[in-house]
Structure 1
Amino acid sequence: MTPSLVPDVPFIERQVSPLLSAGRFEEAEAMLHPYLASGSGPLALWKLLAAAIRPQGRIAQTRAIQEMLVAHAPGDFATRFDLSETLLLMGEFERGWREYHYRYSLAHTTVIERKVQRPRWTGQPIPGKTLLIHDEQGFGDTFQFMRMVRWAKERSGARVILEVNAETLSLAQRNKGSDDFDDIVVRGSLPPAFDVHCEMMSLPMAMGLKLADLPGRIPYLSADPQRLEKWRQRLAGLPRPLLALVWAGRPTHFNDANRSLTLAQLAPLAGPGVTFLSIQKGPAAAAATNPPPGMSLVSLSDEIHDFEDTAAILSIADLLISVDSSPVHLAGALGRPVWVMLPFVPDWRWLLARTDTPWYPGMRLFRQPSRGDWGSVMATMAAELDRFAT
């Protein structure tokens, strides 16, 4: 490396970080390239390079850089977590789950980590003991991984206590007394005495979850019969097919700009003979008052008070069309048909280059062919929707 290319790391970081934040990944890569072209250079710049090339879809190259970073700095837990998501995205579950454990060592995860003064269950049989399984992250994560509670009970031979957030409690409670778990408590309350514990999303690591193990029993959640009757009456008389619609995720999600759309972007899906049901929540729900031309849209957003309402609507609707959000996982757990709109580089759970998913057999994935290209996604879905509606 010539003297002119000796990197001033803090200066380069100040130049590159705004480019990454603005989604100008190619420019960030070009700025870093002269300092790393020889194959050596400061680890901090290699981390920036990985952050620049991953959104461009160069996953294998990203992994190679992350593997190098972990080898040189095994105590850099943030990089180990980044590697875990890359491995899981590539379907390499065995090591991916192990590295995923490093999520608890990051600044932004301190609010979800439980300081439990009991050993963590590692997958061994523990007959006669009590195992506490507790959720930890978003609602979608809870819906997705709740299937594994039953497997953990079978593997451990233990009495299982399930702890979940208040918003998903009633849905989970309907499995109480089954083979899934023995008792259930809401997060924030004092659980009964237990011997070992495991976070719900550490169950894959403890049990060595493989792709071949999926999907397991489907459905594993069900709608409340009283809510079903309420919503059957509410939706009676609407022309079918009924297509539930979610176009935006939680605005505070770190990746929301990459996964969420506006309702106007779904205009190509509009057509005769289809009734769309807006089950969108949050600020984006207001757009349902002004749907795209030709879209017959009934807004249910203000009538949905909890996930029990959402579950009932999804059980009646013919299809859910959604961005990557918690209703996707709720519908999948209910065994309902779902079409998911995915960004070019999706969340790790959707793997790569598949139009299906091992997690939910009734689900189809519609992926951006290039970064930001929702137009192609809409064109493909519109053609499929014509066939679905006839």
Structure 2
Amino acid sequence: MSRLNQCWIAAMRAGRFEQAWAIAERINACRDPASRDDPALPYHLRWVWDGAECDGRHVLVRCYHGLGDTIQFARYLPRLAARAASVTVEAQERLCGLLAGMPGIDRLVPFDPAAPLPAAECEIEITELDCALREPPSRARPPYLRVAPAALPPGTIAICYASGDWDPERNVPASLFGSICRSARCITLVAEPTDLPVLNPGGCPYDMGATASLTSAADLVITVDTMVAHLAGAMGKPTWLLLKAEPDWRWSPEDSASPWYPSMRLFAQPRPGDWAAVVEAVERALVDRELAVEQRARG
């Protein structure tokens, strides 16, 4: 990783967005324009935005990264629409139903990796919107996604312990959630059967609408760093995020809060691989939460 990229990560984690954007401009200035949206590269390694202004132009927003990235930066689409002539969003097919109700999208097209949309007047990858618009997340606060809740008993906690194959180090052994699931009413948001004592032992359907409805209905979401964290945060749901010791660029392991999602609380590993300590901290926080609920009930 280059020195500039390391500085960008440090600035983003610290919430020094103006500094991060200035670094991103320097990185862009060093790129060969001929390599923009290079078809020889995997989509997630491509760069799209050439630094040009979006104002008054027909903008194509490409979603080349993960589902969580798209959800995180979708907050900026209404802000972009207020400045652009039109906004077309080429999004992952699984997310199109979720994004369809968002204001600011003139045209929503499922992304087909084999046949992406042709070049447009102005193109930008969705994760570049904060830099292009020069707007920190505080200017586009959640909730910006709204989904009708599923029918769940009051007080249900939703858990997600698996993040997929992208980064296996983000996964928490499911067995560590046993005590939580025995002491509280829980559902799983993982799309696989589980032996944990949850309300849906068959797992969460592999369906974005169903996942979003269950997330919307939960009283609290406890999740690893995956799409579910962004989905819950974008809805403004109370969310506890479990992080490895050296997490992704958007989270600071030294902080318990995130500028991206004010309803989120961070629990980072004190040492690499130490998920037991993280879950113990969550269990203590759940006890404190329950005591606070009881005190409010007593007036």
TM-score, structure 1 normalization: 0.64
C-alpha displacement at 1:125, in angstroms?
Answer: 2.3
Q: Which residue of 1 aligns with 2:97?
A: 170
Q: Which residue of 2 aligns with 1:221?
A: 145
Q: For residue 84 of structure 1, what is the amino acid of its counterpart?
A: W
* Structure 1: tracts of 5 or more residues without a match: 1-46, 48-65, 68-79
Q: For residue 168 of structure 2, what is the amino acid of its counterpart?
A: D
2:81 is aligned, of 122, 134, 153, to 153
Describe the SS at the equivalent of 2:124: strand
Q: Which residue of 2 aligns with 1:55?
A: none
C-alpha displacement at 1:96, in angstroms?
Answer: 3.3
Cα separation, 2, equivalents of 1:83 and 1:331: 29
* 1:303–1:352 Cα change, 3 Å: closer
Q: For residue 9 of structure 2, what is the amino acid of its counterpart?
A: E
- The structure with more helix, counted as a fraction of residues: 1
User: Is the CA contact 2:43–2:64 (under 8 Å) kept in the aligned structure 1?
Assistant: no
1:132 is aligned, of 60, 73, 91, to 60
C-alpha displacement at 1:198, in angstroms?
Answer: 1.0
Cα separation, 1, equivalents of 2:253 and 2:187: 30
The reply to whether residue 201 of structure 1 matches residue 131 of structure 2 is: no
1:280 is aligned, of 165, 171, 190, to 190
Cα separation, 2, equivalents of 1:191 and 1:105: 12
Describe the SS at the equivalent of 2:76: helix
* 1:372–1:86 Cα change, 3 Å: same
C-alpha displacement at 1:124, in angstroms?
Answer: 4.8
Cα separation, 1, equivalents of 2:40 and 2:20: 20
Q: For residue 43 of structure 2, what is the amino acid of its counterpart?
A: V
User: Is the CA contact 2:142–2:235 (under 8 Å) kept in the aligned structure 1?
Assistant: yes
Q: For residue 53 of structure 2, what is the amino acid of its counterpart?
A: G
User: Is the CA contact 1:214–1:359 (under 8 Å) kept in the aligned structure 2?
Assistant: yes
Describe the SS at the equivalent of 2:43: coil
Q: Which residue of 1 aligns with 2:178?
A: 267
After superposition, give the CA deviation of every residue in 1:324-379 in whole Å (9 maximum; x if it has no partner).
11001011111111111111111110124111111111111111222222222222
* Structure 2: tracts of 5 or more residues without a match: 295-299
Cα separation, 2, equivalents of 1:360 and 1:351: 13
User: Is the CA contact 2:59–2:122 (under 8 Å) kept in the aligned structure 1?
Assistant: yes
Q: Rg larger in 1 or in 2?
A: 1
Cα separation, 1, equivalents of 2:58 and 2:111: 17
Q: Which residue of 1 aligns with 2:297?
A: none
Show the 5 A alignment for 1:233-248.
Answer: 235=152, 238=153, 240-248=154-162
C-alpha displacement at 1:315, in angstroms?
Answer: 1.1
Cα separation, 2, equivalents of 1:316 and 1:377: 25
Cα separation, 1, equivalents of 2:100 and 2:216: 18
Show the 5 A alignment for 1:272-351.
Answer: 272=183, 274-281=184-191, 285-286=192-193, 288=194, 290-291=195-196, 296-299=197-200, 302=203, 304-351=205-252
Describe the SS at the equivalent of 1:146: helix
Cα separation, 1, equivalents of 2:274 and 2:212: 30
The reply to whether residue 368 of structure 1 matches residue 269 of structure 2 is: yes
The reply to whether residue 256 of structure 1 matches residue 189 of structure 2 is: no
Q: Which residue of 1 aligns with 2:13?
A: 89
Cα separation, 2, equivalents of 1:164 and 1:152: 16
Identity of aligned residues (%): 26
User: Is the CA contact 1:121–1:196 (under 8 Å) kept in the aligned structure 2?
Assistant: no
* 1:107–1:193 Cα change, 3 Å: closer
* 1:89–1:104 Cα change, 3 Å: farther
Q: For residue 164 of structure 1, what is the amino acid of its counterpart?
A: A
Show the 5 A alignment for 1:65-104.
Answer: 67=3, 80-97=4-21, 98=24
How many residues are treated as equivalent by the alignment?
281
User: Is the CA contact 2:47–2:125 (under 8 Å) kept in the aligned structure 1?
Assistant: no
* 1:124–1:302 Cα change, 3 Å: closer
Ranked by relative contact order (alpha carbons within 8 Å, sequence separation 6 or more), the top structure is: 2
User: Is the CA contact 2:63–2:126 (under 8 Å) kept in the aligned structure 1?
Assistant: yes
User: Is the CA contact 1:85–1:100 (under 8 Å) kept in the aligned structure 2?
Assistant: no
1:122 is aligned, of 43, 52, 65, to 52
